[in-house]
Structures are given as C-alpha cells and as structure tokens.
Amino acid sequence: MKNLRIYLASAFLLTLTVAKSGVYWVGNSSACTGSNVYGTLNQALLVAALNGDSLDEIRLTNTVSYTGNTNGNYTLTDWDSSGAGLLTLVGGFPDCFTTPNSRTLVGNSGNSSFTVNTNNESNSIVTLTNLRLFGNDSRGLVARGGAFVTLDNVAVESNGFSGVDVGAGAHVEILSNSYVNGNLNFNNPFGGGVRCTEANSSVTIHGIIEKNRAQKGGNLYVSTGCYAELKNGMRIIGGANSAGDAVDGGGVYVDNGGILFADGKADRVIFDANIAENGGALFINGTGLAVLQNTHINGSEAIDGAAIYAQNGGVVSPQLIMDQTTDCNLLFRCSEIQLSRYTNSVVAVDNSMIQIQRTVIEQSQYINPVQIATGVITAYSDSLVRLNRVGMIRNSGYAMLRYTSNDQFKVSHLTMAKNLIPNSTSGSFFSVILAGSIDLQNSLITDSSGIDDRSANNSFSGGCNLVDNDADWPSGFYHIGTAQLINPAAGDARQLAGSPGVDMCLQDTFAWSTEIDIENQSAPVNENTNPQGMPGQPGGLYDAGFDEVYDNMGDDEFLLTIEKEGTGEGVVVSNPSGISCGVDCSEVYFNGTIVTLNASPVTGSEFVGWLNCPLVNQNDQCLTNVQSSHTIRAEFQPDDLIFADGFN
C-alpha cells in the first residue's frame, strides 16, 4: 500500500543484478591510476551518468576531501535503471584498490551533504554506504520526489538542521548499522533527527536515532501524509540536552496526517530517556496516528505526558493504539511504559481517544510532591480512554486514572498493585475533578484507597472487580478480597491459581476488547484448581485482572524433564526451584524462563556430564532457556570407573 514504491524499487534491484554495471574510484594518491579513477566525486558522477550503466558503484577513498562549500554537497538526480543507472556510493577506502575500514566524511558545507531527487525520471535510487554526513549548516541528507535512499553504515551527525529530511513522495531507509545523532539546533521547528512530511513520503528506521533536538519531534517528526515505520530493535534515545529534546515530543511528534508504526518483535522498539515539556517520548496531534506494537517506553520525562501526549484527535477512532503481539516472548512485558518521570501525568489525553491493550505501566516517578492534581493516566477534556489487559504496578502518584471534564474511561481486565501516593503506604485508584464516567469490569485492584470523588456529576458502571477494601467504592461495583499475586513488589502482578480473582467474572462487554490476555494466552480459562472462584459471578470463567491463570500447562508453558543416566548416583536441582531429581524430575516453566541445573554426585560417584544441554557452565552446571518441552540428561558414574567398557 504505502510501501508499494519500495517494493517496486526492490524488484528493480533484483532484476538488474545480472545487468551491466560500472565501478569507479575517487582518489588522488599514487595508487589511484587507471581509466576508472577520478580526482573528484563530481567527475565520477558525471562519467557514471553518461556511461549509462544500469548499476553504478562509486568508491570514495580517504585520499580526497569531500568537505567545504565547493566540494562537500552533492545533488544526485535521476539515478534510475532506465536513466543514469542505480547508484551506490561507498566510502571508507583508505586508498584506491583497497578494502574499506572506516567511514568517509562528507560535509562541513553551507548546504547538505547529499540531496537526492528526480527531474526526468520517476525514481532516483541511491545507496549510501560507509559515510559520515557531518557538520553542515543545513542537513545531512535531503530526499525529494521519487528518491529511494538507503543508508548502510552511515552516521548523520552534528548538522545545523535535521539530520535527514524526507518529503514530496521520497523514501529513506536507515539500516540497523546506521545512526542519526547530535543534530542539535533547538531553533529548528520540526524534527531534529529525521523530518518526514508530505503525501506518499515514507521513512523506515532500523538503526538508532539519538540525542537530536527541535521544537517539535526532537528525534523524529512525522506529518502530512508521511508514513514512518520503526523496525524491531531500533532505538530512539534522548538526552540531547538537560533542558530537553523538544518542547513537544522529545522522541517523536506525529502531526496532522502523519502515521507512525512501531513494528517491534522479540527485541521491541525502544524509546529511551526522551525529555520534553509535553509528550516526553511521543506527542500525537490532530489527525496524526500512532500504532505502537511491542514497544518499550523507558525513562521518559515531561511535565505532562511523560510517556505519551495525545491531543485534538476526537473520539471517533483511536489516535493511539498500543499493544503487543505473539512475536515477542517476554511474557507480560512486551508492551511497556516504565520509569517515567512526571509532574502532571504519564499518559495525557486531551480531546482525543486512545486504546492501550496488553501493556504494563510501572514504576512511574512523581517528581512534584506539591502538585496533587495528577494522574498516571489523565484525560483532560471530552476524551475517551480504553484500557484492556493493562497492568499498573509500583507507580507513584495521587491517582492512577484521573478525568476532569466530560471524559470517559472504558476499562476491562485491569490489574493495579503496589501503587503509592507519595509519602504514603497506599495509592488512590482514580479521581474525578468535574464530570465524567467510568465503566470498570473484570479488574483487580490491591493496595488502593479507592475513589477520590470531587464531583457529583459523574457516573460509575461495571462489575466483577476484586478490590482489597471497601473505601469509597460504589455499590455493586466490586467484590472484597485479597488477590494472591506472584511477586508484585518485584513487578510480577500475575495471579496464583488459588487467588479469589480466578474464574470470578463473566465476559467483558467491550466490542473492542480481544480475548487474548497480557501473556498472549487465550481467554477465558476454566481453571480446574479454582473453578468459578469466590467471590465471583455464577459461571464466571474470566479471571479478574490482566492475565488468565493456567495451573496446568497453558499456551506459554512448557515441561522441562531431567533424566539420569549411568550406574552412579547423584541429584539435579533447578533454579528457579521445581526440580529436585532425586524425587521430582520435571517441572512446568513459563516460556522464556532461564533455568539453571546443578548436578551433585553422592559419595562414591562422579558427575560425568550433560546430554542435550544448550549451555554447559563448568561441567556441573547446565543453563537452558525453556521455549519448548524438552528433556536434558545428566550422567553419573562410579568414581572408580576408569574405562568406558566398565573394566578397572
């Protein structure tokens, strides 16, 4: 769809790999002789364009300077298979006819290092490799029109405006070995690291965008028809300046018409330590849309919306969707907002609609103990907040959910545990300032002081909520009970099989709410150790809170079995506990659990070794990552055994 042109360009490359190609060198040393060697990059570009090779590669040696206003900015136009040919510029060569070992600097000019655009052709397909686009008064790279630019092992650093500027239908792909860093002009209104605007423009980022500054979108700005895709494992890192990365959107600003898709998988997309006045990691405005999939927002800071600020999107459709998928195997932390530092809110919603599912919000740090009108998630005016399978754990603040004026919260399968009011031993659940409504269903709330209700113009609905006290809760809204959780003080607020919140609820009634829990398990589960838990509803199958409990093996649990071999004797013990073989030689572990097995021979025997162990540590210790049901064998033999055939 939006990436159709990218696929077409890739098809061009594949079909032309056997076609005629030209290789040209740029250098001026004694080694740089021959018919395909030129003294400047402009000369090599001219010859390559005139020769009409379908694939052109120009190799830049470090014997030539590519800096300065007269030889430091280059315009690459119409590099297309039907015109001048597809172009690759490769730097890092110490001399002609050598192999690359560094990046070549191109920049220190009054313009940009490279501008890639089109004039007579529909595309200009350029790959930049082993280059450093540095120190320009303007930008490192400008891509316009039908430009398709790939940055391969390229550093875009310390330019006066944006590091990379994409517009007018161009596409730029930043590979994982590339980064955009330290473009720090705070007078730049939009996108200090990468700026992408205008219809049919797009940018795909695998690499690192780090410590850039601008007024909006310190590291990335997306607007007006641009589609920006953040790939698995990429990072947007803040800390450009102690005053912040931006006024709005320290990590990313998504403006009217822009689309941001964070496509995290096992390694997730990471926002780390982004700082702004509003929207520390992410600011979304108007018709902008952000979809965060398997994304970790870590250590962001702002006065309002330390992690996310959404404004003026209306309530017809979500302006933000945050969720996890089965591509991540971190159990309940694939989608996560962690260690935010805030004055007013961690997530701010102003005249907008957001939808957060299967996400943990934890360890938020409230940094203004004087200001009490705060909430971890705060709706400001005519907003709709949807939460499903969300955990709010170990946060500091005067309220977890706060709404102010004609706002709606629709909440299902929420877990709240160990949230504290500053300088207190408990935390409030939500507060009402003017008027609004909340529908709360199938949720588990512990360590809470209930509702801070400051207005009569509000409404509460829902049911089958397990709370640990009856302070301020509306009648019919809750059951009283103390949930049994694995280790909420350490951030694991999943229920144990014996918890009264197991099998206590009927199905939630929200059409948008899926039936997959925070561990990507199917729901509901009729737990045979606690069917229709008490308190609860007759026939209830759903567990209160964000996870479904599996006492027996579930979709994300696997059986680890130990078998002993040999004629000797010994014991195998596991960490985490569960196996003491000896007696108990198997245990069910959650997917992704790292298990350490220790083998100890008894007197008269020796431990010989492991069979089918993925990682052996000092012979007697085996480490395994439980991602499937499997068996590991431990061999013990009598300690006087000398020969393998058993003879002494």
pTM comes to 0.83
Q: What is the pLDDT of residues 451-503, one digit of tens each?
A: 666 555 678 888 899 988 777 677 778 888 889 998 998 899 999 888 999 99
Token look-up 């909440």 returns 411
Region 319-342: mean pLDDT is 93
Q: What is the CATH number of domain 557-638?
A: 2.60.40
| pLDDT given for residue 643 in this prediction | 42
Two structure tokens written together for 639: 């300690």
- The predicted-structure confidence for 26-72, as pLDDT tens digits, reads as follows 999 999 999 999 999 999 999 999 987 889 999 999 999 999 866 78
Q: How far is CA 274 from the centre of its chain?
A: 13
- Residue 94, H or E segment: none
Q: Strand 289-293 to strand 259-263: parallel, antiparallel, or no bridges (unpaired)?
A: parallel
Tokens representing 315 are: 């309530």
Three-state secondary structure call for residue 151 = strand
Measured from the Cβ of residue 424, the count of other Cβ atoms closer than 10 Å reads: 11
**Per-residue model confidence (pLDDT) at position 93:** 98
How many angstroms from the chain centroid is the CA of residue 282?
Answer: 12
Output the DSSP codes for 588-640. Answer: EEETTEEEEEEEEEPTTEEEEEEES-SEEETTTEEEEEESS-EEEEEEEEETT
CA 133 to chain centre: 27
Which residues on neighbouring strands pair with residue 448, listed in sequence order?
427
CA distances to 380, 381, 453, 472 from 434, rounded to whole Å, are 10, 10, 9, 17
DSSP secondary structure letters along 299-345: S-EESB-SSEEEES--SSS-SEEEE--TT--STT-SSEEES-EESSE
Spatial neighbors of 99 by CB under 8 A, at least 6 apart, are: 93
Give residue-wise pLDDT tens across range 114-148: 999 999 999 999 999 999 999 999 999 999 999 99
Contact by Cβ (8 Å): 509, 441: yes
Q: What is the pLDDT of residues 412-431, one digit of tens each?
A: 999 999 888 776 655 556 55
* Model confidence band, residue 219 (pLDDT cutoffs 50, 70, 90): very high
Q: Check if the beta carbon of residue 502 is closer than 8 Å to that of residue 555.
A: no
Q: Is 543 helix (H, G, I), strand (E, B) or coil?
A: coil
